[in-house]
A and B are shown apart, each in its own frame.
Chain A
Amino acid sequence: MVELEPIIGRYVTLPIEGRDHRIYFEEAGQGTPLVCLHTAGAHASQFRHLMCDPAVTDRFRVLAFDMPWHGKSTPPPGWQDEEYQLTSDFYVAAIMAFIEGLELDNPVVMGCSMGGRVVIRLAIEQGERLGAVIGLEGSDRPAPWYHNSWTGHPDFVNGDFCVGLVSGLCAPQSPDETRWETLWHYCQGGTGVFKGDMHFFRTDSDYTAGSADIDTTACPVYLMTGEYDYSCTPEATIATAGRIPGAEAIIMKEVGHFPMSENPAAFRTYLLPVLDKIAARP
């Protein structure tokens, strides 16, 4: 028999903002729940390397779900007449529905890019219920690097375009195999889904007014950004950490916008010490 990966995939139906959504998630490991949030236009496979790393799964139960409309999670019934547009409220509702639905106690939430943004709001509003948040390529406010009209371009709904848009966000040092797998996720996105995520990321996620209110003694905040990320720049990450008393900013060398999937080996050297700190908390 061939060797099976430790990752297990399952489906669950969760009510989000009053509508049932069938959600796909993967998990591996045992211990403190570590809920992982994928980037815009992609899906939870971005965390597959983390789920196969015993240094993580020996003490963390790593869970990653595909957001509605993404990966193997289905859009809600009636989607065919709707325009997908992710809002800050829906995003938080989906994450909390997952945490509550699976009865995850005091989970650590780690999100990348738009996931790295939303963890700031989670820390502001839900910090008492969370073990910590880790924002990968995260900041507390939008900083668009291309014109808003682009999202109206007909090619914006096209996977090949999405690949072209984000390809430069990978570090040149990232191995070809993992870089191209990361970009393949962008080929797989449903029509208009990346664009819909951009509504959240570009216009509905300025959390700066609440950043200073985060209690990092209750919910530690770690912000980890690759030096090649020009979407969420190291400067934006450091500025965000400066607005959150007690937050820690970590800038990762030779890493871009997708650390966990473009260069898992480099990423773990930065993540494991953070997980050590979280695991050492009483």
Chain B
Amino acid sequence: MLETLAHQVNENPALVRRGAAMSASFLIEIGDRDFHVAVDRGRIIGVEEGPFIMRGWSFAIRAPEAVWAKFWEPFPDPGFQDIFAMNRFGHCVVEGDVDVLLANLRYVKDVLAIPRRAPNMGAAHG
């Protein structure tokens, strides 16, 4: 689901502006697949798929593939509509340097919600 994330974010000026204060990387775990997302001043400069050997990141959000599939539905079920909801109900785990997440919360949430708005973005795209 994250293959075209960089394109979708970088072509969205409002979103890039919202993330202008963020230069950091984070990890999204979708089942047994890890995705390392690197952000530079609101632009996604790399989405790299693991496995990784001691790859660094600031925070990670880990959930089974079925959970992310529910999260990315246009109208997710209660408890799957937001990473904090999913964390509260044990559907996902948020770990690492949460301060980086908090400092860029609106931006990160908007980035993670992009596959919800563009369900066909699984196609190969840089």
Contacts and interface: CB of A to CB of B under 8 A. Distances in A.
Interface residues of B, number: 21
Given A153-B99, A230-B88, A164 B75 contact: no
A259 B74 CA distance: 20
A221 to B, nearest CB: 24
Given A164-B106, A230-B88, A173 B75 contact: yes
B4 interface: no
B79 A155 contact: no
A77 interface: no
A14 to B, nearest CB: 35
Contacts of B56: none
Given A145-B88, A153-B99, A173-B75, A228 B81 contact: yes
Nearest to B76: A172
Contacts of A156: 102
Chain B's interface: helix, strand, loop or mixed, by majority? helix
A172 B75 contact: yes
A172 B105 CA distance: 18
B102 A161 contact: yes
A168 B109 contact: yes
A171 interface: yes
A156 B79 CA distance: 23
A15 B65 CA distance: 56
Interface of B: 74-76, 78-79, 81-85, 87-89, 98-99, 102-103, 105-106, 108-109
Nearest 5 Cβ contacts at the A-B interface:
A168-B82, A164-B105, A164-B106, A230-B85, A145-B88
21 contacts: A145-B84, A146-B84, A150-B102, A153-B102, A155-B103, A155-B105, A160-B106, A161-B106, A164-B106, A165-B84, A168-B85, A169-B82, A171-B81, A172-B75, A172-B76, A172-B81, A227-B78, A228-B85, A230-B82, A230-B85, A230-B89
